[in-house]
Structure 1
Amino acid sequence: MSEALVAELVDRLAGQAGPIGRRLPPVITDKPEHRTSKGARTRARIVAAAAQRFDEQGYHGTSLQEIAEAAGISKATIYHHFKTKDEILVEILHTLMNRILDRQRGRRQDEQQSGAAQLQGMIGDLIGLVDQHPAHLRVVLEQVRHLPADVQGELEQGRERFRTEMRDILQIGAASGEFVLDDDADTVAVALLGACWAYFWHPPRSSHDARRLADTVTGIMLQGLRPRT
């Protein structure tokens, strides 16, 4: 992976918004450097390099030494931030989930955001991962099965938080008269989240960029949710 690509991924990861509400916890040790800007950037650099390597070579086919080389750091530096390779994979999972959940909670706290606006924002964020963090997304969807059972439980908790956020959006829209739900909100939430699974269908470097795809998906969904006249 080129230095330019690593730097771009690090900037995206290290520059994410701070926590809003309850977040999935990052995997950290008690080392003070993890609370510094330099420590955060090094940690993000490790995660970005690991995601790319896991994506290219598979989880079991990637060593910590290879991650260190891809990140341009020593293997010892990795151990300052992560005790095991499993912890890095968990961090990739948390990075993606927190990115979406933080943004949605921010929209929910904004009283000016209608149900339709929140729905559009969340769909845009979910589909946007295809362009913004493609390696991270593939790793989460394809490699997390290698994690221990207790971490698999964390993944299910994350899925449940996504379902809860989508359900809350639908209930906000239904309460304001924006949406009409033909089924219970939980069932509709699962259906809408399933429609956002563009990772499998969206080819790399497609002429249909993620934003355009998100707008199309949102338009189709809103047409089905709006009150009939």
Structure 2
Amino acid sequence: MEQRQNTRTQKTRERLRAAAHQLFLQQGYQGTSIEGILAEAGISSKETFYRHYANKEALFVDVLRHLTMEMPSFSEKLETLPPAHDLASLRQVLATLAYEILTIISQPGYLPLLRMIITEMPRFPQLGTLFFSTVTQRGISIITAQLEAAKAQEIIADIDVDAVAYTLLGGLLTYVVMHRLLAGEEAQNSSSDHANAIIEVIMCSLRP
């Protein structure tokens, strides 16, 4: 009985999340109402919405998480990453993280949402804050944790790991924004090559 209820709850959240994502892209954040989300999801009761989300902002955060750091494939990769024990293994860990992050932010469902956030930020600055806390900060903390562990083992030089983490994530985001969001290039099989190129630059700063 409990398992059936959990399944029903999960499916309802998925319907609300999918409906919200679609409407955010079509109408923007401010133009999307809770009533519209319910109608798109085929749900008639507002009480159902509020059982799952405190407000539209909470649902927007859930959409961001689902598209990025909480994707099952990414979570599985994090769980299976071996601890680094030397520079070579650290490079492999960082390259894996860079490739996975680049793959996430290059997916079709992510880029239009990022474009919407950039467009609406002047009218709704909180969107930027939500994006930063939900996506950027999470990515930084994952990279920083790996670098801190390597620093504690004296695998890398005594450097500012936050600066390195921001440089790595910033390089990935800049690539996607410039080449795919602004220039409109189609996704190509170059993610691995670009991730490796960024990691090579990063590793030069990490060597003791």
Q: Which category of TM-score, normalised to the shorter sequence, fits these structures? A: 0.5 to 0.7
Quick check: 1:187 aligned with 2:163? yes
Deviations 1:49-81 (A, max 9, x none): 212211221111112222223223335343442
Identity %: 23
Could you list the per-position Cα deviations for residues 154-207 of structure 1 after superposition, in whole angstroms to 9, with x for gaps in the alignment? 944864443232123335566585xx6595322111111101114422437844
CA RMSD after TM alignment = 4.0
Structure 1 residues 213 and 35: CA distance shift in structure 2, 3 A: farther
- Corresponding residue of 2:109: 133
**Residue identity matched to 1:192:** L
1:89 equivalent in alignment to 2:64: no
| Pairwise CA distance, 1:116 | 2.3
Within 2, Cα distance between the matches of 1:80 and 1:44?
14
Q: Structure 2 stretches of 5 or more lacking a match?
A: none
| Cα contact 2:17–2:63 (8 A) shared by 1 | yes
> Is 2:190 the counterpart of 1:219?
no
Aligned twin of 1:115: 90
Of the three residues 72, 75, 79, the one matched with 1:106 is 79
What's the CA shift string for 1:78-137, capped at 9, x where partnerless? 3442242122112223333333973564144x3489322321222222222221532455
Aligned to 2:11: 41
1:166 aligns with 2:143: yes
Contact 2:144-2:161 within 8 A present in 1 as well:
yes
CA distance in 2, matches of 1:118, 1:91: 27
Gaps of 5+ in 1: 1-31
Q: Assess if the C-alpha contact under 8 Å between 2:172 and 2:195 holds in 1.
A: no
TM-score (norm. length: structure 2): 0.68
Normalising by structure 1, report the TM-score.
0.63
For 1:103 and 1:137, the matched residues in 2 are separated by 24
